[in-house]
Structure 1
């Protein structure tokens, strides 16, 4: 299995696949905190069809200019709220509105002001805590601080309530992993602690190749897939995430094992799609 997944990485760990990924937008910024702000926005808007989603993220970040962290730090909160509300008045991405995005960016501003260094310290567990304790604590705080709109609540699943937390897991992967294509900006969490961002593509392919037996794409499935990948790469189990998701994102997995069309796929010999 490891050799087959390594082959999948070789196929999809490419610049062409990265163009179809929201991570491509944070990578256009130079400063570490600017990349963090862009990642905080991009990861939490990462749902729905990829091309319009990337356009929506790009438009969402545009009012912040080339240095979004400096923009947020330099403005007072009332000024930032006024400017963002005006610039994003007509912006929308599916469940999210301009008001939701304004609140999201102001949340980053407040959390950054507390830490003096972005969000990392807010997501690092205390000694003896499980990694998800810090994530749950931050989610519960933001549920109190942010408006009770559908878009805001959509961004705030709690892992302790059994949620897969796909967009938070994606943000953490980007920020913690130093391997391609991730940002590797944070050092107080380790790659081996990460849990896979469970999107529909990862869930489907993982069932096909036996990484999980679960039917429901929830937190338990995310943990089961991650544990299976840890057996293949204990230090960096999420190195396979980009390739697994892009097998679906790029439209290369038909959802049923069919030769010869599936023959080029490195997973074809272990795939049980369409079998009983």
Structure 2
């Protein structure tokens, strides 16, 4: 199909999937439990961090993690005592364990106390056309305090050729206001035009079948290629097509 036909097809799929029904089976339901900006940010960031594998397992474990934080993630991050952290030792999702969890809470507290919060870090280091440099800078700041070396693997670095799927998904949640009640759009100092698609097996395979992506590996180079293709379809809101690619792959087996 030509570019206009492809755009019309994908726009229709965005409309089909980018609505509140999407939330019911997606990890984004976890930050949707909250109304305070900082609660949404922290719940979203932690949920996105463990968002690999079976989606039911992701949602189940993210709910458990929120419960371990008394379902008040921002208050827990800022005001926990050392003894409060002990309960997190039992947490595990695939290779993300209790020690990693405690490190994340400690690093998040550092971000909010010393860098004005998650949004401010990304805003400070954002490029006009991309947030990939900001993601790399964020990782540096996140681990500038004393930390466990093993935990570094749970924050991706695009400058080391990672597609950074989970953190790009988190940024989509925070920055993009879809006016449909799915993505939050609570970070208004960044633009949806700066976002990159959360590239995973499903979205990558669909993108290749549609001619949006030729590179075989799902890495930073592939992400740049996909970003370029999606910006040609909608330069202002390229990652809306994540809903189309993901929906076609997961729900329709395209």
Same topology, TM > 0.5? yes
Structure 1 residues 126, 158: closer, same or farther in 2, change over 3 A?
closer
Q: Which residue of 1 aligns with 2:60?
A: 55
Q: Which residue of 1 aligns with 2:153?
A: 154
Q: Which residue of 2 aligns with 1:88?
A: 88
CA contact (8 A) 1:125 1:132 kept: no
Q: Which residue of 2 aligns with 1:115?
A: 115
- Measured against aligned partners, the alpha-carbon deviations of 1:220-240 in whole angstroms (never above 9, x if no partner) come to 111111111111111100111
Q: TM-score, normalised by structure 1?
A: 0.83
Deviation at 1:92, TM superposition (A): 0.8
CA contact (8 A) 2:126 2:134 kept: no
Describe the SS at the equivalent of 2:90: coil
Q: Distance between the aligned counterparts of 2:173 and 2:47, measured in 1?
A: 11
Larger radius of gyration: 1
Number of residue pairs aligned between Structure 1 and Structure 2: 245
Give runs of aligned pairs for residues 219-258 of structure 1, distance below 5 A: 219-250=220-251, 252-253=252-253
Q: Which residue of 2 aligns with 1:197?
A: 198
Question: Are residues 1:19 and 2:24 paired?
Answer: yes
Q: Which residue of 2 aligns with 1:274?
A: none
Deviation at 1:25, TM superposition (A): 0.7
Q: Distance between the aligned counterparts of 2:126 and 2:97, measured in 1?
A: 38
- Measured against aligned partners, the alpha-carbon deviations of 1:33-79 in whole angstroms (never above 9, x if no partner) come to 1100100101111000110111011101112224321232233xxx1
Question: Are residues 1:210 and 2:211 paired?
Answer: yes
Q: Which residue of 1 aligns with 2:166?
A: 167
Q: Distance between the aligned counterparts of 2:253 and 2:142, measured in 1?
A: 37
Q: Distance between the aligned counterparts of 2:244 and 2:28, measured in 1?
A: 14
Provide structure 2 residue ranges, at least 5 long, that are not aligned to the other structure.
1-5
Describe the SS at the equivalent of 1:189: coil
CA contact (8 A) 1:172 1:194 kept: yes
Structure 1 residues 21, 127: closer, same or farther in 2, change over 3 A?
closer
CA contact (8 A) 1:140 1:158 kept: no
Q: Distance between the aligned counterparts of 1:94 and 1:127, measured in 2?
A: 31
- Measured against aligned partners, the alpha-carbon deviations of 1:159-218 in whole angstroms (never above 9, x if no partner) come to 111110111111111111111421111122111011111111110100010111111111
Describe the SS at the equivalent of 1:109: helix
Provide structure 1 residue ranges, at least 5 long, that are not aligned to the other structure.
255-276
Q: What is the RMSD computed on CA atoms of the aligned residues?
A: 1.9
Structure 1 residues 113, 18: closer, same or farther in 2, change over 3 A?
same
Structure 1 residues 127, 155: closer, same or farther in 2, change over 3 A?
closer
Q: Distance between the aligned counterparts of 1:170 and 1:89, measured in 2?
A: 26
Q: Distance between the aligned counterparts of 1:248 and 1:18, measured in 2?
A: 17
Q: Distance between the aligned counterparts of 1:97 and 1:128, measured in 2?
A: 33
Deviation at 1:135, TM superposition (A): 1.8
Higher helix share: 2
Describe the SS at the equivalent of 2:149: coil
CA contact (8 A) 2:126 2:133 kept: no
Matching residue within 9, 24, 36 for 2:14: 9
**4+ runs deviating over 3 angstroms:** 125-131, 141-145
Describe the SS at the equivalent of 2:242: helix
